Structure 1
Amino acid sequence: MSAYPGTMIPRRPSRIFRSRWAALFWAAGVIFTAVTFIGFGDKESHQAAAALEDATGANISDGDLAVLRNFAGG
């Protein structure tokens, strides 16, 4: 597989998918490159994303979720 210098797309993309192994190696290279440049992130950003807020910006508690679960019948 020869690629253009500096890109992840080979000259003939159809050749990648003729073989499952070639496709897997190509996909692994794309994922490796993404993780190398972007990284996995830090725990603080994941915890901040996990904090749920409603439309008004107030935090959603477990009690609020229980009320919704009972209302939905689950």
Structure 2
Amino acid sequence: MLPSPRIFRSRWFALLWAAGIIWMAVDVAGFASGDGATPAHAGVTDAVGQPVNAADLAALANALP
């Protein structure tokens, strides 16, 4: 989603726009630990509050087309 070309007339407005896009991406996706020691789904719970395990994720992946 690009804004109107007017925003890129000023380099400062363009930098602020880019920072907002990055901020939104981090807010939506979150931070990863980066060490690889913990799985991506650690601490995730399902709708009833039970922890999600690898078998649950495999069943979900097989159910999706």
The two structures have a TM-score, normalised by structure 1, of 0.42
TM-score (norm 2): 0.47
Q: Which has the larger radius of gyration?
A: 1
The structure richer in helix per residue is 1
